Structure 1
Amino acid sequence: MNALTPDDLEFLRRPLHGFLTVAGAEPRPVWFEATTEGTLELFTEPDSPKVRRVRRDPRASLVVAAPVGERERWVSVTGRVSVEPEGAHDLASRLAARYWDLDDPARAADLKEILAVDQLRLVLHPEKVRRYRY
Protein backbone atom coordinates (compact mmCIF):
# COMPACT_ATOMS: atom_id res chain seq x y z
CA MET A 1 0.00 0.00 0.00
CA ASN A 2 1.34 3.42 -0.94
CA ALA A 3 -0.74 5.58 1.38
CA LEU A 4 -1.04 5.98 5.10
CA THR A 5 -4.06 4.20 6.55
CA PRO A 6 -6.27 5.64 9.31
CA ASP A 7 -4.54 3.19 11.69
CA ASP A 8 -1.11 4.48 10.58
CA LEU A 9 -2.22 8.08 11.09
CA GLU A 10 -3.49 7.32 14.59
CA PHE A 11 -0.11 5.80 15.46
CA LEU A 12 1.86 8.63 13.83
CA ARG A 13 -0.08 11.31 15.70
CA ARG A 14 1.46 10.16 18.97
CA PRO A 15 4.49 12.07 20.32
CA LEU A 16 7.03 9.64 18.88
CA HIS A 17 10.36 10.46 17.30
CA GLY A 18 10.85 9.60 13.66
CA PHE A 19 14.15 8.82 12.02
CA LEU A 20 14.52 10.81 8.82
CA THR A 21 16.97 9.70 6.16
CA VAL A 22 17.71 11.88 3.14
CA ALA A 23 20.01 10.99 0.25
CA GLY A 24 23.65 11.16 1.27
CA ALA A 25 23.05 11.37 5.02
CA GLU A 26 22.67 9.16 8.06
CA PRO A 27 19.27 8.91 9.78
CA ARG A 28 18.45 11.69 12.21
CA PRO A 29 15.76 11.74 14.92
CA VAL A 30 13.09 14.35 14.17
CA TRP A 31 9.75 15.63 15.33
CA PHE A 32 7.06 15.26 12.70
CA GLU A 33 3.35 15.74 12.13
CA ALA A 34 1.08 13.41 10.15
CA THR A 35 -1.49 15.49 8.27
CA THR A 36 -5.06 14.67 7.29
CA GLU A 37 -3.85 14.77 3.67
CA GLY A 38 -1.55 11.83 4.43
CA THR A 39 1.76 13.70 4.28
CA LEU A 40 4.39 13.96 6.99
CA GLU A 41 5.76 17.39 7.89
CA LEU A 42 8.74 18.63 9.84
CA PHE A 43 10.55 21.93 10.22
CA THR A 44 14.18 22.94 9.93
CA GLU A 45 16.37 25.96 9.47
CA PRO A 46 16.92 27.04 5.84
CA ASP A 47 20.69 26.45 5.97
CA SER A 48 20.50 22.97 7.51
CA PRO A 49 22.33 20.13 5.75
CA LYS A 50 19.04 18.27 5.20
CA VAL A 51 17.65 21.19 3.17
CA ARG A 52 20.76 21.27 0.96
CA ARG A 53 20.54 17.51 0.44
CA VAL A 54 16.79 17.51 -0.26
CA ARG A 55 17.21 20.29 -2.83
CA ARG A 56 19.81 18.12 -4.63
CA ASP A 57 17.84 14.89 -4.31
CA PRO A 58 14.31 15.03 -2.85
CA ARG A 59 14.11 11.35 -1.91
CA ALA A 60 13.71 10.62 1.79
CA SER A 61 12.30 8.15 4.26
CA LEU A 62 10.93 8.39 7.76
CA VAL A 63 10.72 5.43 10.13
CA VAL A 64 8.70 5.58 13.36
CA ALA A 65 8.67 2.77 15.92
CA ALA A 66 6.68 2.11 19.07
CA PRO A 67 8.68 2.68 22.26
CA VAL A 68 10.12 -0.07 24.43
CA GLY A 69 7.44 -1.62 26.61
CA GLU A 70 4.82 -1.64 23.88
CA ARG A 71 4.17 -4.38 21.38
CA GLU A 72 6.44 -4.15 18.36
CA ARG A 73 5.16 -1.81 15.69
CA TRP A 74 6.67 0.46 13.07
CA VAL A 75 5.72 2.48 10.02
CA SER A 76 8.17 3.36 7.26
CA VAL A 77 7.35 6.04 4.68
CA THR A 78 9.42 6.67 1.56
CA GLY A 79 8.79 9.43 -0.93
CA ARG A 80 9.77 12.83 -2.21
CA VAL A 81 10.17 15.88 -0.02
CA SER A 82 9.03 19.36 -0.96
CA VAL A 83 10.50 22.41 0.74
CA GLU A 84 7.79 24.89 1.72
CA PRO A 85 8.54 28.45 2.83
CA GLU A 86 5.27 28.93 4.73
CA GLY A 87 3.85 27.36 7.86
CA ALA A 88 7.03 26.23 9.61
CA HIS A 89 6.60 28.39 12.72
CA ASP A 90 3.02 27.21 13.21
CA LEU A 91 4.19 23.62 12.78
CA ALA A 92 7.05 24.16 15.25
CA SER A 93 4.60 25.55 17.81
CA ARG A 94 2.23 22.59 17.42
CA LEU A 95 5.05 20.07 17.65
CA ALA A 96 6.65 21.74 20.67
CA ALA A 97 3.30 21.54 22.47
CA ARG A 98 3.09 17.85 21.56
CA TYR A 99 6.63 16.87 22.56
CA TRP A 100 7.36 19.28 25.43
CA ASP A 101 5.64 20.62 28.52
CA LEU A 102 5.47 24.29 27.54
CA ASP A 103 4.52 25.23 31.12
CA ASP A 104 8.18 24.51 31.86
CA PRO A 105 9.92 27.90 31.50
CA ALA A 106 13.03 26.29 29.99
CA ARG A 107 10.99 24.57 27.27
CA ALA A 108 8.98 27.73 26.61
CA ALA A 109 12.29 29.57 26.16
CA ASP A 110 13.51 26.81 23.81
CA LEU A 111 10.42 27.28 21.65
CA LYS A 112 10.91 31.04 21.66
CA GLU A 113 14.44 30.48 20.30
CA ILE A 114 13.12 28.22 17.54
CA LEU A 115 10.51 30.80 16.56
CA ALA A 116 13.07 33.63 16.56
CA VAL A 117 14.85 32.27 13.47
CA ASP A 118 13.68 31.47 9.97
CA GLN A 119 12.33 27.96 9.49
CA LEU A 120 11.22 25.94 6.49
CA ARG A 121 8.59 23.22 6.38
CA LEU A 122 9.61 19.91 4.81
CA VAL A 123 6.74 17.82 3.48
CA LEU A 124 7.26 14.11 2.82
CA HIS A 125 4.82 12.88 0.17
CA PRO A 126 4.42 9.11 0.61
CA GLU A 127 5.17 6.93 -2.40
CA LYS A 128 5.71 3.71 -0.46
CA VAL A 129 4.44 2.85 3.00
CA ARG A 130 5.49 -0.24 4.87
CA ARG A 131 4.32 -1.27 8.29
CA TYR A 132 4.70 -3.99 10.84
CA ARG A 133 2.60 -4.76 13.86
CA TYR A 134 3.10 -7.73 16.16
Structure 2
Amino acid sequence: MTALTSDDLEFLRRPLHGFLTVAGGQPRPVWFEAADDGTIQLFSEPDAPKVRRVRRDPRASMVVAAPVGERERWVSVEGRMAVEPDGAQELAQRLSARYWDLDDPARAADAKAIRDMDQIRLVLHPETVRRYAF
Protein backbone atom coordinates (compact mmCIF):
# COMPACT_ATOMS: atom_id res chain seq x y z
CA MET A 1 0.00 0.00 0.00
CA THR A 2 1.19 3.50 -0.76
CA ALA A 3 -1.34 5.57 1.17
CA LEU A 4 -2.64 5.89 4.69
CA THR A 5 -6.20 4.63 5.13
CA SER A 6 -8.87 6.39 7.16
CA ASP A 7 -8.28 3.80 9.93
CA ASP A 8 -4.54 4.59 9.83
CA LEU A 9 -5.25 8.33 10.08
CA GLU A 10 -7.61 7.82 13.01
CA PHE A 11 -4.92 5.83 14.83
CA LEU A 12 -2.14 8.29 13.96
CA ARG A 13 -4.14 11.27 15.20
CA ARG A 14 -3.86 10.00 18.75
CA PRO A 15 -1.11 11.50 20.95
CA LEU A 16 1.35 8.68 20.32
CA HIS A 17 5.08 8.91 19.73
CA GLY A 18 6.46 8.01 16.34
CA PHE A 19 9.90 6.51 15.90
CA LEU A 20 11.51 8.32 12.98
CA THR A 21 14.52 6.94 11.14
CA VAL A 22 16.29 8.94 8.46
CA ALA A 23 18.95 7.57 6.11
CA GLY A 24 22.18 7.12 8.04
CA GLY A 25 20.55 7.77 11.41
CA GLN A 26 19.17 5.95 14.43
CA PRO A 27 15.44 5.82 15.28
CA ARG A 28 14.31 8.78 17.39
CA PRO A 29 10.98 9.30 19.18
CA VAL A 30 9.14 12.29 17.73
CA TRP A 31 5.92 14.19 17.96
CA PHE A 32 4.08 14.14 14.64
CA GLU A 33 0.85 15.07 12.90
CA ALA A 34 -0.95 12.97 10.30
CA ALA A 35 -2.21 15.63 7.88
CA ASP A 36 -5.40 15.49 5.85
CA ASP A 37 -3.34 15.14 2.65
CA GLY A 38 -1.91 11.82 3.92
CA THR A 39 1.53 13.14 4.82
CA ILE A 40 3.22 12.94 8.21
CA GLN A 41 4.56 16.24 9.52
CA LEU A 42 6.93 17.12 12.33
CA PHE A 43 9.10 20.06 13.30
CA SER A 44 12.76 20.35 14.15
CA GLU A 45 15.54 22.84 14.60
CA PRO A 46 17.12 23.57 11.20
CA ASP A 47 20.59 22.44 12.25
CA ALA A 48 19.53 19.14 13.90
CA PRO A 49 21.42 16.04 12.70
CA LYS A 50 18.24 14.50 11.26
CA VAL A 51 17.66 17.61 9.14
CA ARG A 52 21.22 17.55 7.82
CA ARG A 53 20.77 13.87 6.94
CA VAL A 54 17.43 14.49 5.19
CA ARG A 55 19.00 17.25 3.11
CA ARG A 56 21.65 14.74 1.93
CA ASP A 57 19.29 11.78 1.46
CA PRO A 58 15.51 12.23 1.80
CA ARG A 59 14.69 8.59 2.57
CA ALA A 60 12.91 8.20 5.91
CA SER A 61 10.57 5.91 7.79
CA MET A 62 8.41 6.13 10.87
CA VAL A 63 6.74 3.49 13.04
CA VAL A 64 3.92 4.22 15.47
CA ALA A 65 2.69 1.52 17.87
CA ALA A 66 -0.21 1.25 20.27
CA PRO A 67 0.79 1.58 23.94
CA VAL A 68 1.07 -1.29 26.38
CA GLY A 69 -2.36 -2.39 27.60
CA GLU A 70 -3.99 -2.04 24.20
CA ARG A 71 -4.35 -4.66 21.52
CA GLU A 72 -1.31 -5.03 19.27
CA ARG A 73 -1.33 -2.43 16.50
CA TRP A 74 1.24 -0.51 14.50
CA VAL A 75 1.60 1.53 11.33
CA SER A 76 4.88 1.88 9.43
CA VAL A 77 5.43 4.57 6.79
CA GLU A 78 8.38 4.75 4.38
CA GLY A 79 8.96 7.51 1.87
CA ARG A 80 10.78 10.70 1.03
CA MET A 81 10.98 13.55 3.48
CA ALA A 82 10.88 17.19 2.40
CA VAL A 83 12.27 20.11 4.40
CA GLU A 84 9.76 22.98 4.40
CA PRO A 85 10.64 26.45 5.71
CA ASP A 86 7.08 27.44 6.61
CA GLY A 87 4.41 26.17 8.98
CA ALA A 88 6.70 24.84 11.71
CA GLN A 89 5.64 27.30 14.43
CA GLU A 90 1.95 26.54 13.91
CA LEU A 91 2.66 22.81 13.87
CA ALA A 92 4.69 23.11 17.08
CA GLN A 93 1.78 24.92 18.73
CA ARG A 94 -0.73 22.25 17.68
CA LEU A 95 1.53 19.40 18.78
CA SER A 96 2.36 21.01 22.12
CA ALA A 97 -1.37 21.17 22.86
CA ARG A 98 -1.82 17.57 21.69
CA TYR A 99 0.99 16.04 23.74
CA TRP A 100 1.05 18.27 26.84
CA ASP A 101 -1.44 19.74 29.29
CA LEU A 102 -0.88 23.43 28.57
CA ASP A 103 -2.88 24.40 31.66
CA ASP A 104 0.25 23.32 33.54
CA PRO A 105 2.36 26.51 33.77
CA ALA A 106 5.63 24.59 33.35
CA ARG A 107 4.40 22.89 30.16
CA ALA A 108 2.98 26.17 28.84
CA ALA A 109 6.41 27.75 29.35
CA ASP A 110 8.06 24.79 27.60
CA ALA A 111 5.66 25.16 24.68
CA LYS A 112 6.42 28.88 24.41
CA ALA A 113 10.15 28.14 24.43
CA ILE A 114 9.69 25.68 21.56
CA ARG A 115 7.62 28.19 19.58
CA ASP A 116 10.28 30.86 20.13
CA MET A 117 13.00 28.66 18.61
CA ASP A 118 13.89 28.70 14.95
CA GLN A 119 12.07 25.68 13.48
CA ILE A 120 11.53 24.02 10.13
CA ARG A 121 8.82 21.55 9.12
CA LEU A 122 9.64 18.04 7.93
CA VAL A 123 7.05 16.34 5.73
CA LEU A 124 7.14 12.58 5.14
CA HIS A 125 5.45 11.64 1.85
CA PRO A 126 4.38 7.98 2.12
CA GLU A 127 5.54 5.62 -0.61
CA THR A 128 5.03 2.38 1.34
CA VAL A 129 2.62 1.88 4.23
CA ARG A 130 2.45 -1.29 6.29
CA ARG A 131 0.22 -2.01 9.21
CA TYR A 132 -0.64 -4.69 11.71
CA ALA A 133 -3.58 -5.09 14.09
CA PHE A 134 -4.42 -8.04 16.27
> What is the CA deviation profile of residues 72-110 of structure 1, one whole-angstrom value per residue up to 9, with x for unaligned ones?
000000000000000000000000000000000000000
Q: What SS does the aligned partner of 1:126 have? A: strand
Q: Which residue of 1 aligns with 2:37?
A: 37
Q: What is the CA distance between 1:12 and its match in structure 2?
A: 0.2
Give me the CA root mean square deviation: 0.4
Alignment of 1:27 with 2:23, yes or no, is: no
Alignment of 1:116 with 2:116, yes or no, is: yes
Q: What is the CA distance between 1:35 and its match in structure 2?
A: 0.5
Alignment of 1:46 with 2:46, yes or no, is: yes
Q: What is the CA distance between 1:114 and its match in structure 2?
A: 0.6
Alignment of 1:58 with 2:29, yes or no, is: no
Size of the alignment, in residue pairs?
134
- Give the aligned residue type for 2:8: D
Q: What SS does the aligned partner of 2:10 have? A: helix
Which ranges of structure 2 fall in alignment gaps of 5 or more residues?
none
- Give the aligned residue type for 1:83: V
- Give the aligned residue type for 2:68: V
Q: What is the CA distance between 1:42 and its match in structure 2?
A: 0.1
Q: What is the CA distance between 1:115 and its match in structure 2?
A: 1.1
Instruction: Report the TM-score when normalising by structure 2.
Output: 0.99
Which ranges of structure 1 fall in alignment gaps of 5 or more residues?
none
> What is the CA deviation profile of residues 14-58 of structure 1, one whole-angstrom value per residue up to 9, with x for unaligned ones?
000000000111100000000110000000000100100000000
The whole-number CA distance in structure 2 between the counterparts of 1:116 and 1:96 is 13
Q: What SS does the aligned partner of 1:24 have? A: coil
Instruction: Report the TM-score when normalising by structure 1.
Output: 0.99
- 4+ runs of 1 displaced by more than 2 Å? none
Q: What is the CA distance between 1:116 and its match in structure 2?
A: 1.1
Alignment of 1:130 with 2:130, yes or no, is: yes
1:77-88 superposed matches below 5 A: 77-88=77-88
Q: What is the CA distance between 1:117 and its match in structure 2?
A: 1.3
Q: Which residue of 2 aligns with 1:4?
A: 4
